Structure 1
Amino acid sequence: MCAEMAGSILIADKVPTNRIILKVKLSSAYYSVLQCDTGARTLEIARRERPNLILMDLDLGDMTAFETCRALKDDPQTAHIPVAIITLQGDTEAKIAALKAGADEFLTKPLDELTLTARVRALMRASATSDELRRRQETATALGFAEAPALFEACGKIALVGSTIEEARSWRAGLKGLVGHEIIVQPAQTLLEAISQDQIADLYVISASHNATSDGLRRVADLRSRAGTRHAGIVVVHDANERREAHMALDLGANDIITRGSDPEELALRLRTQMRRKQEADRLRDTMEVGLKLAAIDSLTGLYNRRYALPHVEKIAAEATTNNTPFALMLIDIDRFKAVNDTYGHATGDAVLVTVAKRLRANLRGMDLIARFGGEEFLVCLPATSLVEARACAERLREAICDEVAAEAPNGDPICVSVSIGMTMGGGVDGAPVAPLDALIDIADRALYDSKAEGRNLVTLGSHAA
């Protein structure tokens, strides 16, 4: 079987040996790796291939990494691609210049594998979120209700959560005059209380000191688990010798990490980058919430409707084919739903639909697409998902529906329902020919029929992906 790629990375370095070493490290983590040796080639390949991440050395021969990065960020076709510039150890000026040029990150030589893979995972996660929001914006534009992007950066709020009040105050003093956003010192012990009272910041700077590393990591997890701060930017400040904890912070959901004692200008530049990303994501989400309610949201369940779902899945399929990554497609149908309507009335049937929709949504990721496809049928699309993960997700969805009461009958009796699921895989799957979307939907539909025929409350995989 062919390995499933975790995304594509472009390595730009004029030294072949450096490219080979990086390719070996990244390929072992199942990333698809592209290579080039000049700035001009970097720009050309980035525009054509749209990689998920670009890693580039400082010197590309015809151009510096800074010049190449600025050109990438100035081009609307490539501006969204995260860029990491590889600098020499201890070269503070190069680090600051990389961030000023628009780089999302810098890495220092020699590259140790643990640091490289942790940084790459964080940048790829940011890329996946950015790509999904961009797809939704493009779909919204095609449907005629997207708004023009904002041309200015609004004033945001940054909360500094040091291991002590004095540490947070020292950060604030260093940032004075460098960041045009509101900055507050938030005592660590009252952080969750403030969030519960809707005192929420756009960005959080969290200390993971050697005296309280676990507390700092726990706060990252706490912020990511709460609805009010789920989309906040998080920067973790760590000691130079706490590399493993810093990598754990990235994997727990921190957007960025910075070594304690770094130049305040570096922290300011990182905060500006994170604030820009946060505000862009917020604008795109707001556009979706307002526009989609008018044109692409099912009024009963609050899910996307068929009109929105099909062009959006087309985009997921096209990108999966380009990047050689798999995606899963499911059709989910409520078993014996007509009997619910006939026995209890349409109002009760609507209540069942709403409950099923909520449970499906609660058991999917933010990047997954769920839509009411018609009547009692739902469509789910899982980007960048393997067959094993898709099977597990389908079973989780099935169990979430049938394990609890879905609605109450007019006489007070509990109503329980089950669902049948037909599933298929698309995109770069084991070298198989790429099937068009209508064919994938037809395969999922036939698999759904098989689930019904075999007794209902089952998940069936379409025959071409078995």
Structure 2
Amino acid sequence: MSARILVVDDVPANVKLLEARLSAEYFDVMTASNGTEALALARRAECDIILLDVMMPDMDGFEVCRRLKTDPATHHIPVVMVTALDSPADRNRGLEAGADDFLTKPVSDVVLIARVRSLTRLKMMTDELRMRAITSLEIGMQAPERSAIADAGKGGRILLVDDRQSSYERLATILAAEHTVDVESNPTEALFHAAEGNYDLLIVSLDLHNFDGLRLCSQARSLERTRHVPILAIAEAENATRLLRGLEIGVNDYLLRPIDKTELLARARTQIRRRRYTDHLRDNVQNSIEMAITDALTGLHNRRYMESHLATLAEQASTRGKPLALMILDIDYFKSINDNYGHDAGDDVLREFAVRVRKSIRGIDLACRYGGEEFVIVMPETDLHVAGMVAERLRRSIAGEPFAVHKGTKRIEVTISIGLTTLEQKGEAVADVLKRADTALYRAKHDGRNRVVSQAA
């Protein structure tokens, strides 16, 4: 795993030491001697992780971290403060500034490399989501950066897994000041509880009686419903080796006992903010995918999706020797609806038409807006006779009840014409099937509209 690490320190000896450690692990290392230089490099997206000293002359590390975390261009870059300051107040100040971790010098090579590798995995995952979400911005969706910066990380749902009553009562009381907390004292039930609870954070004690806390963390990472939930591990100071192992298997952060109240709250907020940000990125990606294949007005699939998916359905039908029916529907005299009642009324008709189509077909059927007032319905494993019955039922559904327009103030009569055919010949081109259905539709319109015309292969 390779990543570009930015080391920020005004002491050349410290820079050289960190550079040697990281280079030995095949990380690409770049350096900055002050905060201003570090901010400029980070804004140019030239680093994956920042190792930041606190005591610097022009701008201290706390201020650098605050600026990084409040800039939409850099807030997603993990920041680890590496400093000689070792008081709880300094550590909490760093975490409150937005640092992902606070390591006190001298830092062992094992701890440093484990933390960098863990954050590298996180950064790569976030970068992938950010790249995929670029399309979301191009189609007008809101970028999540500004909401992430404004998010205080409070109001989360936390599952605390701990079987020591004195411990979980204290931790739950602290966390309850900012979050909703559920306690699971039975480790064997914890994974089921986590999967069902839609939590923002799992806090797992690694000192469970007769149960391996690391195995629970590993299982949470392998289960689809908990894979992306951040995990904060808690352990005794002598269990540092197990904590490092936890970072390797997907634990996001850790705390050593005795637990400092302020630090616990700060680390919980950091993990919850990150969870919400990555969830927002995933939602944007999913929404952009849906928007690319969905007609915005009717909610049905669009022509692009139909043309690609129809070929797959036709191939499956040919391979399995099953029938495939296809119908093209056209709203009769749709232009006159727009001319007489306005385009808003036309949109109302199209939306209601899509609703009635969905009610008339099966879940496995594919309904698409082909363009304008034309629609296509593809029905797998359906012969011409059955498809004709469905088409006639749909025709009656449209003609049998007027369409409400202008917010229900007017109701207008609407009818449709349907051209129907089936894929009968193995390996027949999809374009030929569509052309045959279109020919049948032309006949339906020519013969007086408001009717279904079938055309066999």
TMscore range, shorter length: 0.5 to 0.7
1:105 is aligned, of 101, 107, 110, to 101
The whole-number CA distance in structure 2 between the counterparts of 1:114 and 1:211 is 27
1:217 aligns with 2:183: no
Q: Deviations over 1:421-464 (max 9, x none)?
A: xxxxxxxxxxxxxxxxxxxxxxxxxxxxxxxxxxxxxxxxxxxx
Alignment of 1:5-84 (within 5 A): 6-84=2-80
User: In 2, are the aligned partners of 1:205 and 1:235 still within 8 Å (CA)?
Assistant: yes
- Is contact 1:89–1:110 with CA below 8 Å preserved after alignment? no
3-state SS in 2 of match to 1:242: helix
Partner Cα separation in structure 1 for residue 122 and residue 323 of structure 2: 42
Q: 1:291 and 2:288 equivalent?
A: yes
TM-score (norm 2): 0.62
Alpha-carbon distance in 2 for matches of 1:293, 1:253: 30
Aligned to 2:203: 205
C-alpha distance in 2 between matches for 1:173 and 1:342: 63
| Structure-1 separation of matches of 2:208 and 2:238 | 9
Partner of 2:371: none
Alignment partner, residue 270 of structure 1: 267
CA contact (8 A) 1:50 1:78 kept: no
Aligned with 1:122 (options 98, 118, 123): 118
1:137 and 1:265 map into 2 onto residues whose CA distance is: 34
Distance 1:297 1:16 in 2: 56
2:412 aligned partner? none
CA distance in 2, matches of 1:175, 1:134: 30
1:24 Cα deviation from its structure 2 partner: 1.0
Change (3 A) 1:346 1:175: same
Structure 2: how far apart are the matches of 1:89 and 1:14?
15
Helix, strand or coil at the partner of 1:68: helix
1:133 is the counterpart of 2:129:
yes
What is the rounded CA distance, in whole Å, between the counterparts of 1:183 and 1:342 in structure 2?
55
Contact 1:146 1:291 in 2 (8 A): no
Q: Give the distance between the partners of 1:347 and 1:34, measured in 2 at CA.
A: 63
Q: Percent identity between the aligned chains? A: 35
CA gap 1:33/1:184 in 2 versus in 1, 3 angstroms: same
Shift of 1:166: 2.8
Distance 1:341 1:248, change over 3 A: same
Encode CA deviations 1:296-333: one digit per residue, 9 max, x unaligned: 589xxxxxx9x99xxxxxxxxxxxxxxxxxxxxxxxxx
Structure 2 CA distance for partners of 1:171 and 1:347, relative to 1, 3 Å: farther
Q: CA RMSD in A?
A: 3.4
Distance in structure 2 (CA, Å) of the matches to 1:297 and 1:240 = 54
1:254 match: 251
Alignment-derived partner of residue 183 in structure 1 = 181
Match of 2:229 in 1: 232
Given that residues 163 and 208 in structure 1 are in contact (C-alpha distance below 8 angstroms), is that contact kept between their aligned partners in structure 2?
Answer: no
Distance 1:132 1:204 in 2: 24
* Structure 1 residue matching 2:174: 3-state secondary structure: helix
CA separation in 1, counterparts of 2:319 and 2:204? 56
Instruction: Output the CA distance in 2 between the equivalents of 1:60 and 1:238.
Output: 33
State whether residues 59 and 65 of structure 1, in contact with CA within 8 Å, keep that contact through their aligned partners in structure 2.
yes
| 1:143 positional shift | 3.6
3-state SS of paired residue (2:231): strand
Q: Deviations over 1:152-184 (max 9, x none)?
A: 56732011111423311111223353xx22112
- Per the normalisation by structure 1, the TM-score is 0.61
Instruction: Tell me if structure 2 keeps the 8 A contact 1:140–1:146.
Output: yes
Q: Which residue of 2 aligns with 1:450?
A: none
Q: Secondary structure at the match of 1:285?
A: helix
Q: Looking at CA atoms only, which structure, 1 or 2, has the larger radius of gyration?
A: 2
Task: Report the 3-state secondary structure (helix = DSSP H, G, I; strand = E; otherwise coil) of the residue aligned with 2:5.
Answer: strand
The one-letter code of the counterpart of 1:220 is C
Query: Structure 2 matches for 1:402-441, cutoff 5 A?
Result: none
* Distance in 2 separating the partners of 1:296 and 1:241: 54
Letter in 2 for 1:73: K
Deviation, structure 1 residue 200: 3.7
Amino acid at match of 2:201: L
Q: 1:187 to 1:41 in 2, by over 3 A?
A: same
Whichever residue aligns with residue 63 of structure 1, its letter is: M
**Aligned pair in 2 of structure 1 residues 185, 13: CA closer, same or farther (>3 Å)?**
same
Counterpart of 1:403 in structure 2 is none
Q: Is the 8 A contact 2:162 2:208 kept in 1?
A: no
Change (3 A) 1:29 1:162: same
Match of 1:156 in 2: 156
1:146 deviation in Å?
Answer: 4.7
Helix, strand or coil for the counterpart of 1:232?
coil
The runs of 5 or more residues in structure 2 that have no matched partner are: 296-301, 306-312, 325-380, 383-457
Counterpart-to-counterpart distance in 2, 1:297 and 1:135: 22
Deviation at 1:89, TM superposition (A): 6.3
2:5/2:29 contact within 8 Å kept: yes
Q: Following the alignment from structure 1 to structure 2, what is the Cα–Cα distance between the partners of residues 49 and 119? A: 21
Match of 2:368 in 1: none
Q: Measured at CA, do residues 187 and 227 of structure 1 come closer, stay the same or move farther in structure 2, by a change above 3 Å?
A: same
CA distance in structure 1 between the aligned counterparts of 2:14 and 2:47, rounded to whole angstroms: 19
CA displacement, residues 192-221 of structure 1 (integer Å, 9 cap, x when unaligned): 33245x234211111012866x61101101
Count residues with an aligned counterpart: 314
- Quote the offset at 1:186 in angstroms: 1.5
CA contact (8 A) 2:151 2:273 kept: no
**Counterpart-to-counterpart distance in 2, 1:338 and 1:228:** 34
Report the AA paired with residue 247 of structure 1. L
* Structure 2: distance between partners of 1:347 and 1:181: 56
2:220 is matched by which residue type in structure 1? L
Secondary structure at the residue paired with 1:158? strand
CA contact (8 A) 1:175 1:265 kept: no
